[in-house]
Structure 1
């Protein structure tokens, strides 16, 4: 196997490392606050474990950056971007659901990072991240099940035999009779409902503690968009006599005290928007019924505009750290 320090990092590898560092500094701020507030001992143990994983990842990433003499990203700071002594903003149940949602998202991200990693030390790092996260996610699911908080997706009847699609109306959905939902459509509608419901709770809390009026209004706009989206997904499930997941609005307290920096909350929000665009694209590809696909197209366009407004706020305030970029050849020639 190749020696890690003899091969230059590829654009994919340095981008994966850079993004992971930013994400881990951000998530560490959340965990530091959670640890001072959480009361349930079992949830607290999981939060502590997650915080230790993030800190370990940052140590490894720092070592790789230093070995490459690559500037370490600024990211987020435990002393600047979180007030660990702030009053409770979310319930313990929210913290557990946060660990569940964040772990699922991170697992997908690490899988992508591993697939583009070639150099031995980078491949080893992301492989270890996945291994740790698989075990951690299992612990989170088990605690959710133990507390009766895990929301299972709907069950499907066992067919009598295999069958094949015989009519073109399998794809239709705008007019006339609509066929029942297939498993992939149900799964994606269900998880997209849950993600938006969780987004409502997260952004509702963020909007209450934002310091800037502009940021507060932007975050509250996100609450309204997420509510609209889970209403759309919930309506389709109801039309097909399928259960609709619960929401987490009640897990947010009335605190308005400074808890997280506006920079950190804007980062989380714009990251969630970017993830939603990716999730909707995948869901659209996995939804043969045309009316469902059209809904994903329409909702994606809405959050893409929201994302642009968020990016403009971050740029205006100097909060958007520049990711690794190719050299500007035109600028080099001018110099």
Structure 2
């Protein structure tokens, strides 16, 4: 085996996707750093910027050595640092924290599809960076009182076993019986989905206020409505069991209508969040034992997938969707 074999199709694909995501994050950090009004938040974002920028350069160098075109992705043309603040009260660190959560899943998956040592080490480095800054963002938000903790529960004093199949039932067919209370695993996933959608709703509401194209503005308004419906329905499930719902004290959009980012970047960011939402809902479906919950989450997944597909069409029609590296069309050779 050569010391550095040629990269595989899966390695090329994951490097291409990682380059897209990381350059988007750099452009958004450009703006958030410029508008930061808290020294500690600014330092976190500045340090993160430096580490991500180094990894982006490493990916570009690998692609160049392999003779592959480096993607355009997102450049300084996709950010306008001089415009007024679009979000206030801790949104920057809340947003970075959620991006790091998305990145954790992506880097773990990408590493399982990589074989060449330098690429495996790259994802190892990105994983370390992601975990480090996820922790820093979480601690910052806790110190500032800008993050809601999930509800507490009394600790179990003994081990128990499910006694009958009614445990799985979430449909209240008999009016004289009550479906069982949610277990802690189900609450964890419901709470996480709601919390993510609250931030997503604030993000996309800001995007809707400043989008340049009317079709893009309408698309973002539709997305905010979808997020709101998910929050409402899942919050009702928690409230039925007297469980409080996530209440974030900050991270709201301002009244600004001037875009800090290009429509292309905002559409891509929304697409990334849709992919994250699909993954979160699928995990919630897999780990929920009360059968009404997977049904509801599957419906959300269907709506999210349709919304993402509509966004992809808008991006294609406007020439914003960069084409991933293609396999050879052997039939035409």
TM-score by length of 1: 0.95
CA contact (8 A) 1:207 1:217 kept: yes
Matches within 5 A, 1:18-97: 18-78=16-76, 80-97=77-94
Question: Larger deviation: 98-107 or 194-203?
Answer: 98-107
CA contact (8 A) 1:26 1:75 kept: yes
Q: Per-residue deviation at 1:250?
A: 6.2
Structure 2 residues not aligned, in runs of 5+: none
**Hey, what's the Cα distance between the residues in 2 that align with 1:247 and 1:235?**
17
Are 1:14 and 2:12 counterparts? yes
| Equivalent in 155, 166, 174 of residue 163 of structure 2 | 166
CA contact (8 A) 1:201 1:248 kept: no
**Hey, what's the Cα distance between the residues in 2 that align with 1:46 and 1:165?**
46
Q: Per-residue deviation at 1:150?
A: 2.8
**Hey, what's the Cα distance between the residues in 1 that align with 2:72 and 2:249?**
32
CA contact (8 A) 1:2 1:120 kept: no
CA deviation vs aligned residue, 1:272-325 (integer Å, no higher than 9, x gap):
112211211111011111101110111111111111111110010111111122
Equivalence for 1:297 = 298
Equivalence for 1:216 = 217
Question: Larger deviation: 209-218 or 254-263?
Answer: 254-263
Q: 1:250 to 1:73 in 2, by over 3 A?
A: closer
Q: Per-residue deviation at 1:148?
A: 1.7
CA deviation vs aligned residue, 1:60-114 (integer Å, no higher than 9, x gap):
1111111111110110112x10101111101141011112111111111111111
Structure 1 residues not aligned, in runs of 5+: none
CA contact (8 A) 2:27 2:74 kept: yes
**Hey, what's the Cα distance between the residues in 2 that align with 1:211 and 1:94?**
22
Q: 1:250 to 1:139 in 2, by over 3 A?
A: closer
Matches within 5 A, 1:203-282: 203-247=204-248, 251-282=252-283
Equivalence for 2:191 = 190
CA deviation vs aligned residue, 1:25-50 (integer Å, no higher than 9, x gap):
11111000011111100111111112
Q: 1:2 to 1:102 in 2, by over 3 A?
A: farther
**Hey, what's the Cα distance between the residues in 2 that align with 1:154 and 1:124?**
38
| Equivalent in 131, 142, 154 of residue 139 of structure 2 | 142
CA contact (8 A) 1:201 1:249 kept: no
Q: 1:269 to 1:106 in 2, by over 3 A?
A: same
Number of residue pairs the alignment of both structures matches: 329
**Hey, what's the Cα distance between the residues in 1 that align with 2:287 and 2:109?**
19
CA contact (8 A) 2:146 2:250 kept: no
CA contact (8 A) 2:212 2:263 kept: yes
Equivalence for 1:127 = 124
- Structure 1 outlier segments of 4+, above 4 Å: 247-250
Question: Larger deviation: 138-147 or 81-90?
Answer: 138-147
Flag the structure with more relative contact order, 1 or 2, with Cα contacts below 8 A and sequence separation at least 6. 2
Equivalence for 1:320 = 321
Q: Per-residue deviation at 1:326?
A: 2.0
**Hey, what's the Cα distance between the residues in 2 that align with 1:280 and 1:58?**
30
**Hey, what's the Cα distance between the residues in 1 that align with 2:139 and 2:214?**
40
Quote the RMSD (CA, aligned, Å).
1.5
Q: Per-residue deviation at 1:329?
A: 2.4
**Hey, what's the Cα distance between the residues in 2 that align with 1:147 and 1:319?**
38
TM-score by length of 2: 0.95
**Hey, what's the Cα distance between the residues in 2 that align with 1:230 and 1:258?**
26
Q: Per-residue deviation at 1:21?
A: 0.2
